[in-house]
Amino acid sequence: MKAEDIRALSDGEIRTKIEELDRELLTMSIQLASRQLVNHRELVKVKKDVARLKTILRERELGIR
């Protein structure tokens, strides 16, 4: 997800998206451990998306942007 797309979401939608991605991250971690995950780069992409979401949410809390 791009930062512009995330900024268009409401706080509630961002929190929901974080929860969804956390569940996906857990599933992918289990698949990686059992060697079922085909593309391990997807794990990194999901982690970065979660970080972006949390950063923008925190910016809003602090009133930075």
pLDDT in tens, the chain (65 residues): 888 999 999 999 999 999 999 999 999 999 999 999 999 999 999 999 999 999 999 999 999 87
Using an 8 Å Cβ cutoff, are 14 and 53 in contact? yes
The domain in which residue 36 lies consists of 3-62
- pLDDT of amino acid 58: 96
Using an 8 Å Cβ cutoff, are 11 and 29 in contact? no
Question: Phi first, then psi: what are they for 13, rounded to 5°?
Answer: -65, -35
- pLDDT of amino acid 65: 75
Give CA–CA dist 53/22, Å, rounded.
11
What the block records as the tokens of 23 is 């569940």
Give CA–CA dist 20/9, Å, rounded.
15
Domain count, the chain: 1
